[in-house]
Amino acid sequence: MARTATAHALVLRSRPMHPLPVIHTMYWDNIPADILEQQRAVFAHLDLPLQQERAHQQPHGRWMTEVLERHSSDDVVIFCDIDAFPLHRQACLGAIAQAQAGALFGLAQFSNHKPGTQVYAGPMFMALRKGLWEALGKPDLQTSKQHDAAEVLSALARERGIALAMPAPTATLIPKWALGHEGVFGIGTFYGQRDFFHLFESRKPAYGALLAAVAADVTQDRPLNFAHYLALAQRLGDDPPAPRRRWWRL
């Protein structure tokens, strides 16, 4: 049976009174501990409040619904995958501004295993007012036959003429999936004008080296070193990740 998020979630704040909404992320026990640590380091460096919640075996969409229910209608609610982060502070501020203006913000995503034909605002980094979810009828955000987790928000927003803000992939280190008819994405994907990074498949420990390299450049205020990332990705291609052999618990 799925368990709800535990109460020992960590909130990172570098100032006592932070004006920004907390960014919510969940993880299962199969996520390596260093992925969590590196995400925390990035958000702390960017002075963005992060709450990581252990929600082992809980469906992603159900957890997102529970997070929305905790908030007031005027609140901006932000979701982020455990292996994703903004590459600079302004990227997050821009997402918040879009949500405050009434748009649904999410990184461009496409469900290749679902019947849909349109790119949608993905919850790997998503921002919206709770009131928008309410105005759309409080839809169930769980995966269904038609939609992946939270994809229904984009479908309903299109029906009602609500703005969608969807930064597209601009680079990917290991191309793996089609973004509908609009491009490709894969392991280690960059979005917007070097605004966001999402690893994907972080449950596979070998891919962690890619996230670690990007996170190190962000936290050290260095330019993104795409040559280094590609060299790491090439080595992974020559020596595919070994099967996961252990689970991590925090």
Distance CA 154, CA 164 (A): 7
pLDDT per residue as tens digits for the range 43-71: 999 999 999 999 998 999 999 999 999 99
129: β partners: 76
As a whole-number percent, the residues of the chain with pLDDT over 70 amount to: 84
For residue 114, pLDDT beyond 80: no
For residue 199, pLDDT beyond 50: yes
Residue-averaged pLDDT of the chain: 87
- Tell me which of 93-102, 138-147, 151-160, 241-250 is least confident: 241-250
What pLDDT, on the 0 to 100 scale, is given for residue 113? 66
For residue 197, pLDDT beyond 60: yes
Average pLDDT over residues 157-180: 96
For residue 203, pLDDT beyond 70: yes
Position 6 confidence tier, pLDDT thresholds 50, 70, 90: very low
Q: Which two tokens stand for residue 103?
A: 């748009």
| Domains of the chain from N-terminus onward | 10-238 (3.90.550)
For residue 145, pLDDT beyond 90: no
**166, 119 contact by CB (below 8 A):** yes
Nearest to 79 by CA among 99, 106, 55: 106
DSSP characters for 106-124? EEEE--TTSS--S-EEEEE
For residue 249, pLDDT beyond 90: no
**194, 224 contact by CB (below 8 A):** yes
pTM score, two decimals?
0.86
Position 236 confidence tier, pLDDT thresholds 50, 70, 90: confident
